[in-house]
Each structure stands twice: as C-alpha cells, then as structure tokens.
Structure 1
Amino acid sequence: MRNKKWLVLLLSLVMLVSTACGNKTVTEDPAPTDTPTDIGQEPTAPQKVDGGIFIFAIASDPNVMNPLYAGDRVTMTINNAIFAPLYVIDEEGTEFFLAESITPSEDYLTYTLKLKSGLKWHDGEDLNADDVIFTLNSITDEKQKANSRGSFIIAGKPVEAKKIDDLTVEFILPEVSVPFMGSLGGIRPIPQHIFEGEEDLAKSTKNLEPIGSGPFKFKEMKSGEKVELVRFDEYFDGKPNLESVVFRVIADPNAANTALLNGELSARYITTADVDKFNTDENFNVVLYKEGMLNNMVFRLTNKDLQNKDVRKAIAYGINKDEIITGVYKSSEYAEKAYSVFVPSTQFHTSDVEKYEYNVEKAKELLKNAGVENLKLRLAYINSSKENEGFGLIMQQQLKAIGIELELLPMERGAFYDKLLDASNTDFDLAFNGYVMGVEPNGYKPLFRTGDFNNFMGYANEELDAAWEDGVVETDEAKRGEIYQTIQKQLMKDMVVYPIAYPNSIVAVNKKYGGIEEAKPVPIFMFRDLSKLYIME
C-alpha cells in the first residue's frame, strides 16, 4: 500500500467577490461655476480577512492518509496539511515545526530532540515524546513496511529512542550516520493513542479519518470527489487564516484549467502551454519556482532485451533532449536538461557523467552489436499528464529512427502506480516517472538499492549497494562527495534510469489570495505551510 493514489474532495463553491465602489458626490464652490465637480472616492485596497476556502485540484484520490506511507504527490500534499513535521532542512537552513531544537552529541551517536510545549493533536490530546517514540518504533518495525524505514536502520540495526521527559527524546545511533539529522526532521508523528495495538498501520481504518497535528484537520472525504479539511485552532503556530482547504478531484487537466478560470479552484499547477493565458489574466498571479524534481524514464529489467546494458544505452543515444525541451517545455526557462539522476539542489550533484548526447549512428551500432533488431517496447505513463504525453510522442518518432517501435500506454493514475511499484510486473517495458528526493543524497538510495521495494526497475549492483552505505557513515565531506559522485557516474553507465529534465514548477493562483510568500512555494506540496494563506477583500 505504498506510493499510490489519492483522495480528494469535491466542493461547489460560491466565491465572494467584494468590489469597492466610489461614492459619487457633487459639491458647489462658494462662487458659482458652470459645471459641477465630481469627486470620486479612492478605491479601498484589498484587506486581509479571516476565513474563506482554498480549493486545490488533484488528479485522483489519495493513497493512505498516514505519513508513514505517503509517496505520491496527491497523498503527500494532503498529509502535509494534516501532519506537521518535526523540522525541515533545505537549502535555506533548518525550519522548526513541532520540534524546538535538535542537538547532536560530540561523537554524533546521540541526538537530543526537544519538542515545543503545548502541542496538541486534532482531537485535543497532548502531543508528546511518547508519540515521537511510537512513530519511530513503527517506522523501524519491519512488518509495518514504512517508506522511510531504511533511513533509521543503520549498520543493520534500528535507531533507538529513549524518553527523557514529556518534551525530550534521546536518539541513540548504532553507528555514525551523516544523513540522520535530516531524516529525523522529516518524521511527521502519528498519535500513539490512536494507532497503538493496530497490527497493520497501512491498512488501519484509522487512516480514513486521520488525526494529525498540522494546520488543518480532517473533515470529510468522498472518493472520486474531494477531501475537505477545516482549520485547527490550536495549531502550534497560531490559528490558520483560512477556514477550510478542499482538495477536489479533477482528473482531466483541461477541465481543471476551466475550473480555475471559472473561479471554482484557487490554484493549480499549470503547464508551459498555459503560462501566457494566465500571465495575461488580471485575476491570477503566476508563481515559478524550482521543483527539485527529475523527470525521467525507467527501464524495466524484466524485459530480456533491456537486461542488456548496450540496448539501454542505444535508447539513450537515440533520444534528442534538445527537441524534448523545446517541444514540451518551450524553452530552458521552464526546464533544464538533466544528465544525472541527482537534481542540482542535491548535495554532491555532478553533471560530469556519461551524457548520451544524441547520436543516431552510435545508437544503431550498439543495437547491431547487441544482436537486437526490430525491437518493440511498451512505454507507460499517466494518461492525465500532457507533459508525459509530449515526451512519449517525441520519443516515439526519435526511436523509430534507430529501428525501435514504441507503443504508448497511457494509464489511469492508480493503475499506473500499482503496476510501476511492482518490479515483477511485465505489462510495460519503459515508464515515465518523476521524483523529488531532497538535498540529502542518501535519500536516493532506496531507488537503486538491490531488492528495495522502491527499486521498481529491478536493478542490482552490489558494489553500489556498499557505496551507498559508505556514504552514510563518511564524515569527511570531500570523501563523501567523491562517493556520491562515483555513484552518479556508475548509475549513468548502467543506464537504468534515463534523466530527461529538471522542470520548474508553475502555479497559477487566484489574486484574491495573499500570503503566498509566507506559505512558501515548495516541491511536491505546492505550499509548505497552508496556515499562512489568506483571502483579501
């Protein structure tokens, strides 16, 4: 029940529009004049108001409204509003949420976490050290199959958590782990008093009406229609400005655009094809920011022909990235050509790798030497993604030039992820995917580690498995950088993931909403803290 699909809410919404009209008056001077003078009252500037609704569009229902299992954009976005993290470390530094501080020992084998006082769950119960310890133990419990378990198993042993007092937890590591502090901050605690005793947290019915600690609490979910949240007045950072947030399911991107233009949505991601339309509409602000995402194509090694590295390399040489950037994104303003499986914002990213620049003759030569001809491959992607459709159509023509017939298989989002995450599935040979792994390079490890359930290519490289582990414990930054750069180079030599582009996010937001900068546009969630958004009237 891992990275799958998502829940959303339908919401018919009557938007309140307040128009300030100047009162027209006629005054007479003491001395008579031939014509009266009109004095127009200056329009009042829009003011921040309390309440209101913010409506997002989502393409499908969420997967599991439990942060231990969220792995897709829809579920993670909804969970971000319901469950607060301990803290967040990004390129700008550390931002504390539930935690007040995190302090490592001199030997970096013990970390002391202090929680803020007065924290509450959405049901009014206190959030304390017991909840943090319960959450960590649930993550490290192998039978619970939490997504981030690998981050808290070090040298084959789980990180231990010890309660010091109600607001203090001490974490004891079996071995030094450089990424640990970042991994710990990403934990979004779940309530012990709700989940204690549940045998399978992923399948628990408690996830259907989640209790969290974030700025908005769960109200209602209607499958295929909407997920609705209402503000949590006791949120640690103050009562949110908005009364509610709605995630409305609209699978068709054209219908979602129409809903946004009609005022039925508050904001949505848009494509480069829509930028001009919204930029010239006085009712919208267009926000552009780096997504920290890699759009890519994965090779399924269940296909016998693709088990040959030279065949995978031939495909890479047969793809013209410049044509894709121009055809799908219009220009490099909206996407940068990708060469590494790490994004540029990840520590130790390098472009000094085998780049596979477009070379039809080399591609043909590799296929010939591999003894492969008249190759037919099936390429799967989400049917609602115009971006992926564009990739597919361009690549279909490009690979035809090297003798490969590419069948395009657009799929419903849920079915696509179900099949993609099953590495043994043979319904397709190639798939478009996208991921955001953050600034810590160890975050990429589950995607490529032998046997990991996140490794849906079926890739195996024991030498790299060892290198990933070396990177976790290496404290010398220069040596650590060498490890991760070597990993990137080897992954590109093996070509199990073809990097396409590092895209920017483009979001159109109705101008009636303020607090965009304070809410902080970020990858995946669109906004890090929805409590900061507000309506202006």
Structure 2
Amino acid sequence: MKTDFLRLAQQMMQRMRTLRWWGIATAIALMIAFPSVLTACSGQPSNASSDNQIVVSILSDPKTFNPALSTESPNVFNLTFEGLLDQNPMTGEFEPHLAESWEFSEDKLNLTFTLRENLKWSDGEPLTADDVVFTFNDIYLNDKIPTSSRDILRIGAEGTLPTVTKVGDRQVRFTMSEPFAPILSSIGLEILPEHALRESVETLDSEGNPLFINTWGISTPLSDLVVSGRYKIDSYSVGQRVIFKANPNYWDAPQPIVEKVVWQIVPNTDTTLLQFRSGDLDVTSVSPEYFSLLKKEEDRGDFTIYNGGASYGTSFISFNLNTGKRNGKPLVEPYKSKWFNNVNFRRAVAYSLDRDRMVNNIYRGLGVPQDSGVSIQSPFFNENIKGYDYDPEKARSLLEAEGFYYDDQGKLFDKDNNLVRFNLITNAGNKIRESIATQIEQDLEAIGMEVDYTPIGFNILVDKLTNSLDWECHLLGLTGGNEPNSGANVWAVDGNLHMFNQNARPGTDPLTDRQVSDWEQEIADLYVKAAQELEFDKRKEIYDRTQEIGSEHLPFIYLINNFSLAAVRNKIEGVQHSALGGPLWNIEELTLSTTDSDLKE
C-alpha cells in the first residue's frame, strides 16, 4: 500500500540515511510519533537477563499504569499495551499491530483500519472495534480527560479532531476535516479496554471530572489491570521492582523466548553501574562518564557496547514564563516573573552557558551542542540555527542594557534592587543532569546570578510542571523523533506539556491573568500549518521557521545531544540497537543463550 503519507515517511527515511555526525552514521530508526513525554533518564533504559528473563534498571517508580494519563518516560506501556500500528525503528516502515491493514480514501479524508481476527485482552475478553472507538472517542478525544495525545490529533486551524466510527465487526474509520500529514505517525496510541474502563469514564466525581482521571494509578491491584501487549505486570514493589510476565492472550503466538522482564528501581546511576558490572543487570545505558571504564571491560564482562548514533530528544533548561495566578496568588514571584519574561535575560543565560565544556567534561566528548527542539537526526532539523555560543561578556552587556547592575562583589541586581536569585530543579539520581546543573550553577554565578540548585524526585518534578505549576527554572529533557508533530503537545498554547507557560489541567484550580505571547501563538499556529501540508519541502520550511522563532525567544535553552550508547550482555542475541528503538525494541525476536557464567548454585 503506497499512500502519499507512506511515501512521505519513506522520503524522510531516505533523507535520514544521508546524515552523519562526527563520522558516526546516525541511526536511521523511525518510531511511531507518540506525544512528547518528559524523560527521567539521560539514555536508554537498562535491561538484564537471567535464565528466560531480562532485567532493566529505571531511576524511579512508575507514575501511573494508565497510558492515557502518562507524560513521562520510561513507562510500562511499550510492554503492556499496543496500538493499531507501529513503525519499525530500523526501516521506518509502518507495520500492523492490532490492525492487520489500513487504507486511505482517495481524498485522504478517511482512514479505515481492519483489526486482526480473534484479538483478546489479557483477561480473555475479546478486543474489538468497539474498544478502538471507545478508546478514541471516550478517552483520547474527551476534553474532560487530561491526555497529551489529544494535542497531536488536532487537525487544521480550527483544531478539529478526527471522527472515529465503527464500520464493521473488525473495521474502524477515522474521518478528518482535511488531509492531515502526520496521521499515521499520530494514531498508534494504546488501545484501552471498554469493558474495564467505561464505567470510570462515565461516572463523575463531585467536581464533574471523570473517575477515569484517578483510575489505574500505581496502587491499583494488578489483577484489575487489563492489557493488550506482549507482557502484563506480574508484580510491583514500590521502590524496588516491576516484573512483567508474558501475556498468554497476546495475538502474536508463539510466546516470546524472554518470558519475564524485570525493572529494578535504582534511583542512582552510580548504583546502576555497579549492578551492571556485578552481573545483576544485562543491559544498561552507557553514560559518557562510564564509557571508557565499560569499554575496557567488554571482553571480561561478556557484553557489547552499541552506539546508535546521536540520541533523539532534547535536554534544556526552561524558565517559568507563566504570569498566571491561582486563587489570587501568582505562580511566580512578580519581580522574578519580569526577569524570566525578558527575552534578553533568557539570552544572557544562554550566552553564559559553556556547552563545549559540558561536552568535554561531562559528556567526555560523546555529545554535541544542541540548538533546536527538533532532533538533530530528524529530516526536519534546521541546520541553519546559529544558537548561542559561550560569551559571558555579551551576557553581561545584555543584562546591563535591560537595567540590571552589579554591586562591588559582582552580584547581579535588577533595576528595583532585587538580587537575581532563583531555584533550579532537576530529577535526583540522574548523575549527568546533576553534573550539568552544577555547571549551570557555576556558569550563571560567573555573571552574577545566584542559583539555588535542588534535585528532587522525578514524579515530584513532573507534578510541579504539570499540576501545581510551582517552579522557577528546571533542567529536563523531552523525547523526540523524526516527526515534529509529536511535540504538538509541547507547542500548542494549551498543550498538555506546554510547560514553560502551562495552562491549568482539568481537575485543578483554574488560572487567572495567564498571558500568551505573540511568538508563542505563532509557533502553535505554524505547527498546525505544517500538519496541513503534505509536501515534504514545504513542511520543512514551516518547521524551520518554528525553530528560528524558538531560538530567538528561548522558551527552552537547549544544551547537549548525547550519543545513544547501550551495553548489552552477549547472552542476549539478536540485538538491533538504534537511537530511537533502544536495544530491546525487538524483544519478541531476542533469544537468550546459556553460558558457564549463568550457572550458579
């Protein structure tokens, strides 16, 4: 089936194959474009095998077992749920999953999926077209449910959503108001069970919100979870581990060789390294600080370090630009809000950050400076973005031109005599981010700013960015891919991850006095326009402009793009590591060999 949409994806992949960085061929993997999510880790999640299981290390507990409400990565849903289709990380081809086929109408306004026969949920109930219709109409497209997925499905200037209808026992049709270029990249969302969740969607709490918003949290009895993926959650011990077991009702028989996946919760990357070196983990992301050490141990440790090229995603700092108030109280202290909303203040910060020093000292040369919210490897990346080279003198000049001044001790004050001091948060346990935060603290102190650096738990951090909105500056990352529309939830002015100026979510107290700037609205409008454009070159021009505006106004001050490195025990055979898919994306094809080192009393 060769539609314009598929040809567009293949054209993207062809352009990807020409990209090189520092002589290392970038991975040409292309995954389904889920909405951008916050990342707790600086690389791929780790994994390990013993007998017929693989053990994976993650930094923090899962935040939710409800895929529609998730905004963080890693999460459990790649193992436990599936969508209608997926995209092969190595070839970029769309592949059927719950659907066996799909077809566009001639005018590109209708997309019809045909489900596989005899699909089942993990509890044995049939998985049908009714589940697909329920998932989209009652959950993802329900404006009472705060899901990031809705933002990437909005179509055209009016932001209309597709109409989803059942047209046969196994057929579901998506009808669009106009052709929508990223539809295949946007529609592979997790399908959810109607029989298990409809009551929670239709029942409202005392404030008129669906009970679904609090359904399938991490305290939910695991027997209540109904999934469609290759694995289901077998056990969960808070702060210790999540164990996944093969789902006997999964559609793609036979059962995988890897019968169990174990996620060890290790809130410190140093401890993760120790566990991998001792053999307790079979796969781990390789951070730059440990690359040389692990490279020397490859033969003795019987593992291989895979390089997937430059990682997808972004790392950045961002200031809270929200001028809003909640219950009459400003989210940000008004005098600090004036600093943060001054574009030259943000530019001064950008000029003061020595990113080359970050690459050399923190990333050990295994990374490159980043200047755009679009991944370097994406065919939509704007190579002409100049960025902000390290120039502390220019930073000082910009600040002084805006009325800031220095006292005799070199400390920076605003024109109202307020000391420039703010709090910087990042997630605790991620050593790379903690090192970057320490350098940022030093770099900004060199231009007179006082930074109170505070590492906090990842789930607490996510809550601050999405619910309480109580923060000043954060250091974080977002997932990325080739299709920029996967970040529509970040750039839409009311998007679910528009974190630098986040609107109140459903179920939280509303905001007053929140303002949206002209440039902010322009980026949002351009994202809409790009999704309307089917021709690749014209789409790229539009996305180029969004990156130019982002670089000019700096809602995110981008930092470093690291290389995607993973160490995998050689007993795991069939690994095809890629920057997008990671080392275990083809887990159903992996086999586990038995060696002498596996034998224990």
Alignment-derived partner of residue 244 in structure 1: 260
Work out the CA distance in 1 between the residues paired with 2:380 and 2:235: 43
Work out the CA distance in 1 between the residues paired with 2:238 and 2:316: 30
8 Å Cα contact 1:240-1:532 kept in structure 2: yes
The Cα of 1:243 is off from its aligned counterpart by 1.9
8 Å Cα contact 2:49-2:55 kept in structure 1: no
Alignment-derived partner of residue 397 in structure 1: 442
Work out the CA distance in 2 between the residues paired with 1:319 and 1:292: 22
* Matching of residue 230 in structure 1 with residue 233 in structure 2: no
Work out the CA distance in 1 between the residues paired with 2:581 and 2:61: 16
Work out the CA distance in 2 between the residues paired with 1:319 and 1:386: 19
The Cα of 1:82 is off from its aligned counterpart by 0.7
**Change in CA separation of 1:522 and 1:98 when aligned onto 2, cut-off 3 Å:** farther
The Cα of 1:248 is off from its aligned counterpart by 1.4
Which of 307, 311, 316 does residue 288 from structure 1 map onto? 307
The Cα of 1:235 is off from its aligned counterpart by 2.7
Which of 414, 428, 433 does residue 476 from structure 2 map onto? 433
What TM-score do you get using the length of structure 2 for normalisation? 0.76
Q: Read off the aligned partner of 1:463 and give its amino acid letter.
A: E
Work out the CA distance in 2 between the residues paired with 1:522 and 1:168: 34
Work out the CA distance in 2 between the residues paired with 1:310 and 1:231: 54
Count of equivalent residues: 487
Two-structure CA RMSD over aligned residues (Å): 2.4
Alignment-derived partner of residue 377 in structure 1: 422
Alignment-derived partner of residue 178 in structure 1: 181
Which of 534, 537, 560 does residue 478 from structure 1 map onto? 537
Query: Which structure carries more relative contact order (alpha carbon 8 Å, separation 6+)?
Result: 2
Alignment-derived partner of residue 433 in structure 2: 388
Q: Which aligned pairs between 1:74-93 and structure 2 lie closer than 5 A?
A: 74-75=74-75, 78-89=76-87, 92-93=92-93
Partner deviation per Cα, 1:484-508 (whole Å, 9 max, x = no partner): 1111101110011011122222222
8 Å Cα contact 1:5-1:63 kept in structure 2: no
Q: Read off the aligned partner of 1:101 and give its amino acid letter.
A: S
SS in 2 for 1:392: helix
Work out the CA distance in 1 between the residues paired with 2:123 and 2:174: 28
The Cα of 1:315 is off from its aligned counterpart by 0.7
The Cα of 1:15 is off from its aligned counterpart by 8.1
Task: Look at both structures and tell me which one has the larger radius of gyration over its CA atoms.
Answer: 1
Alignment-derived partner of residue 221 in structure 1: 236
**Change in CA separation of 1:122 and 1:320 when aligned onto 2, cut-off 3 Å:** same
Give the unaligned 5+ runs of structure 1. 7-13, 17-50
Partner deviation per Cα, 1:177-216 (whole Å, 9 max, x = no partner): 11112101x2111111111221332311487332212111
* Matching of residue 496 in structure 1 with residue 555 in structure 2: yes
The Cα of 1:465 is off from its aligned counterpart by 2.5
Q: Which aligned pairs between 1:204-219 and structure 2 lie closer than 5 A?
A: 204-205=215-216, 208=220, 209=222, 210-219=225-234
8 Å Cα contact 1:423-1:455 kept in structure 2: no
Alignment-derived partner of residue 70 in structure 2: 70
Moved more, 389-398 or 456-465: 456-465
Alignment-derived partner of residue 305 in structure 1: 339
The Cα of 1:5 is off from its aligned counterpart by 9.9
What TM-score do you get using the length of structure 1 for normalisation? 0.85
Give % identity: 24
Work out the CA distance in 1 between the residues paired with 2:367 and 2:217: 40
Alignment-derived partner of residue 194 in structure 1: 196
Alignment-derived partner of residue 120 in structure 2: 120
Work out the CA distance in 1 between the residues paired with 2:200 and 2:274: 43
8 Å Cα contact 2:145-2:213 kept in structure 1: yes
8 Å Cα contact 2:38-2:476 kept in structure 1: no
Work out the CA distance in 2 between the residues paired with 1:423 and 1:314: 28
Work out the CA distance in 2 between the residues paired with 1:309 and 1:158: 34
SS in 1 for 2:559: strand
Give the unaligned 5+ runs of structure 2. 1-35, 41-47, 202-210, 322-331, 406-411, 413-419, 502-515, 595-601
SS in 2 for 1:56: strand
The Cα of 1:263 is off from its aligned counterpart by 2.0
* Matching of residue 514 in structure 1 with residue 573 in structure 2: yes
* Matching of residue 316 in structure 1 with residue 316 in structure 2: no
Work out the CA distance in 1 between the residues paired with 2:237 and 2:39: 14
Partner deviation per Cα, 1:82-103 (whole Å, 9 max, x = no partner): 1123222366222322222222
Partner deviation per Cα, 1:199-243 (whole Å, 9 max, x = no partner): 332311487332212111221112111111111234333311112
Q: Read off the aligned partner of 1:224 and give its amino acid letter.
A: G
Partner deviation per Cα, 1:19-76 (whole Å, 9 max, x = no partner): xxxxxxxxxxxxxxxxxxxxxxxxxxxxxxxx6111111111101112212221232x
* Matching of residue 169 in structure 1 with residue 226 in structure 2: no
Work out the CA distance in 1 between the residues paired with 2:496 and 2:78: 23
Alignment-derived partner of residue 27 in structure 1: none
Work out the CA distance in 2 between the residues paired with 1:4 and 1:311: 25
Q: Read off the aligned partner of 1:411 and give its amino acid letter.
A: I
SS in 2 for 1:402: coil
Which of 152, 159, 163 does residue 160 from structure 1 map onto? 163
The Cα of 1:110 is off from its aligned counterpart by 0.4
Work out the CA distance in 1 between the residues paired with 2:428 and 2:215: 30
* Matching of residue 108 in structure 1 with residue 127 in structure 2: no
Q: Read off the aligned partner of 2:344 and give its amino acid letter.
A: D
Q: Which aligned pairs between 1:286-365 and structure 2 lie closer than 5 A?
A: 286-290=305-309, 291-301=311-321, 302=332, 303-331=337-365, 334-365=366-397
8 Å Cα contact 1:292-1:345 kept in structure 2: yes
Alignment-derived partner of residue 497 in structure 2: 454
Moved more, 458-467 or 508-517: 458-467
8 Å Cα contact 2:351-2:391 kept in structure 1: yes
Alignment-derived partner of residue 442 in structure 1: 485
